[in-house]
């Protein structure tokens, strides 16, 4: 069965463009919305696998889309959410993730241009993964935090964790860093141990490690 997506974006050309590229990738766009109220009506009616939502939408053109996305996560936990933004706002990512980074993503709109990566992100989020824009991750990595729970990590381990937060698999991390998969596995294991996640299943540890990363500060 094809992945079912809903697109909420008030710019008609962008909304149509995203719908077309998703359709070309075999993803079924079951509904489109141009404002936050219409988004909530249609997401309740269609219950898509994933809602792709613009941060700034009518009626207020502030963070209506973001607030709707947070509401969807609370009301319809089986619907994953990908928020698209024109602005690099760390607060948006943190508000969206809340206490659970599973099935959630935050990307800058420019990322849509890289169609293959965008479609891969949509599929990963719909499958229960998390994807954060690399610029947001870089902003978080660049901060120094008092009492940072990540202080025990080496610079390389922080780099690996940052790539995890972007939604990369171990293979993707290995390719980015130019190292072998075994090296990434060793770094991941040490990260989990240092964060006190040594006995949980691997996928759950990844989720919890990313959540720890986002909460630090």
CATH at residue 193? 1.10.10.10
Sole residue written with tokens 């130019």? 178
Condensed to tens digits (0 to 9), the pLDDT of residues 111-146 reads: 899 999 999 999 999 998 888 887 877 666 555 455
pLDDT of 193 = 86
How many domains is the chain built from?
A: 2
| pLDDT at residue 8 in the model | 97
* pLDDT reading at 87 higher than 70: yes
Are 68 and 40 spatial neighbours (Cβ–Cβ below 8 Å)?
yes
Helix (H) or strand (E) holding 123: helix 115-126
Q: Which residues pair with 4 in a beta bridge?
A: 28
Cis amide prior to 59 (ω within 30 degrees): yes
Does 166 lie in the same domain as 65? no
For residue 32, pLDDT over 80 is answered with yes
Query: Of the candidates 84, 116, 135, which is a domain's last residue?
Result: 135
pLDDT at site 199: 66
Residues 189 and 94 in one domain: no
pTM (two decimals): 0.73
**CA of residue 121 relative to chain centroid, distance:** 8
125 shares a domain with 178: no
Q: Which structural domain, as residue segments, surrounds residue 36?
A: 4-135
Domain closes at, from 135, 168, 188 = 135
Arithmetic mean of pLDDT over the chain: 86
pLDDT value of position 23 = 96
């Amino acid at each position: 069965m094809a992945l079912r997506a809903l697109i909420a974006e008030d710019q008609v050309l962008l909304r149509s463009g995203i719908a077309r590229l998703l359709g070309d990738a075999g993803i079924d766009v079951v509904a489109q919305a141009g404002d936050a109220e219409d988004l909530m009506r249609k997401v309740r009616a269609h219950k898509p696998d994933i809602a792709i939502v613009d941060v700034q939408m009518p009626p207020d053109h502030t963070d209506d889309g973001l607030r709707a996305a947070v509401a969807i996560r609370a009301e319809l936990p089986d619907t994953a959410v990908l928020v698209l933004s024109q602005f690099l706002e760390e607060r948006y990512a943190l508000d969206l993730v809340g206490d659970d980074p599973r099935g959630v993503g935050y990307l800058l709109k420019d990322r849509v241009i890289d169609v293959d990566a965008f479609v891969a992100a949509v599929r990963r989020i719909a499958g229960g993964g998390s994807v954060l824009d690399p610029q947001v991750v870089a902003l978080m990595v660049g901060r120094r935090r008092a009492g940072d729970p990540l202080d025990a990590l080496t610079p390389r381990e922080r780099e690996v964790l940052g790539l995890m937060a972007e939604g990369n698999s171990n293979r993707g991390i290995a390719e980015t860093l130019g190292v072998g998969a075994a090296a990434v596995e060793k770094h991941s294991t040490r990260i989990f141990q240092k964060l006190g996640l040594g006995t949980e299943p691997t996928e759950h540890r990844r989720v919890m490690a990313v959540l720890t990363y986002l909460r630090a500060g």
